[in-house]
């Protein structure tokens, strides 16, 4: 892969990572409700999920999903259900300050890792996207392990890097504007965003 081709891949991956959607909402949720660490853990696990689909598309998973649309649809519906679950969970949660602190200390890291990976894994559109994207840069007959690793690592680093920046900027904003982790209006906004994203996923499927 030439440098010019790689830079083109980088540009496209950056635009994809920076586009707002469920992934951004998940990282913001953990950055605001938890901490910068929780947001960064969600960012890393999301990058792993995206990198998984990048690698899987090189191995033919994207083409396989196109041949078996039922599998694709099931994953899409599961993804929408997970988004709705996150939104409803926020709406129904009314912990006291002590309960909130305990929950954050014991479960925020694990939950952040789970949510970050799940929101990527339950988005099979990524496999189809990478199938179409990579076909513009490589000839499958000439694909080597080295080129495949470069492409997958590029995807992982850019996606993870962007959301790490989001987590860091969110932490700075919390300090600058004195956001609290248990702000009722902010919780409701996040909940509505998750539920709206779930509806959008269903309507655009």
In a domain, 16, yes or no: no
Alpha-carbon Rg for the chain in angstroms: 18
Contact in structure between 130 and 54 (CB atoms under 8 Å): yes
Cα of 174 vs its chain's centroid, Å: 21
Each residue's pLDDT tens digit, 66-89: 787 888 888 889 999 999 998 898
In a domain, 90, yes or no: no
User: Residue 180 pLDDT more than 70?
Assistant: no
What pLDDT does 58 receive?
Answer: 87
In a domain, 106, yes or no: yes
Each residue's pLDDT tens digit, 32-55: 888 899 999 999 999 999 999 999
The CA-atom distances, in angstroms, between 81 and each of 70, 87, 145, 201 are: 16, 10, 36, 10
In a domain, 111, yes or no: yes
In a domain, 11, yes or no: no
Could you list the residue range(s) of the whole structural domain that residue 25 is in? 21-80+97-180
In a domain, 193, yes or no: no
What pLDDT does 182 receive?
Answer: 56
Give first-to-last CA distance, the chain, whole Å.
34
Helix (H, G, I), strand (E, B) or coil at 94: coil
Each residue's pLDDT tens digit, 106-156: 458 899 999 999 999 998 888 888 988 888 887 767 778 898 899 999 999
Provide the number of structural domains found in the chain: 1
Residue 188 neighbours by CB under 8 Å, 6+ apart:
90, 91
In a domain, 174, yes or no: yes
In a domain, 124, yes or no: yes
Whose tokens are 């000439």? That residue is 142
Decide: residue 197, CB within 10 A, 0-12 exposed, 13-18 middle, 19+ buried: buried
What pLDDT does 102 receive?
Answer: 41
Whose tokens are 């988005």? That residue is 123
Average pLDDT for the chain = 85
């Amino acid at each position: 892969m030439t440098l010019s081709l790689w830079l083109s891949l980088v540009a496209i991956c950056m635009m994809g990572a920076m586009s707002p959607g469920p992934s951004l909402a998940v990282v913001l949720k953990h950055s605001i409700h938890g901490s910068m660490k929780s947001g960064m853990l969600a960012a890393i696990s999301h990058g792993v999920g995206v990198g998984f689909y990048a690698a899987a598309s090189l191995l033919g998973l994207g083409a396989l999903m196109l041949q078996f649309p039922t599998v694709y649809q099931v994953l899409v519906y599961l993804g929408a259900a997970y988004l709705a679950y996150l939104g409803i969970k926020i709406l129904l949660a009314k912990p006291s300050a002590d309960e909130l602190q305990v929950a954050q200390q014991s479960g925020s890291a694990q939950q952040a890792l789970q949510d970050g990976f799940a929101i990527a894994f339950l988005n099979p559109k990524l496999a189809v996207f990478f199938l179409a994207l990579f076909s513009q840069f490589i000839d499958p007959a000439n694909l080597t392990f080295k080129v495949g690793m470069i492409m997958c690592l590029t995807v992982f680093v850019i996606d993870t890097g962007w959301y790490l920046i989001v987590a860091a900027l969110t932490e700075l904003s919390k300090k600058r504007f004195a956001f609290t982790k248990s702000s009722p209006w902010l919780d409701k906004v996040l909940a509505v965003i998750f539920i709206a994203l779930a509806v959008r996923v269903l309507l655009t499927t």
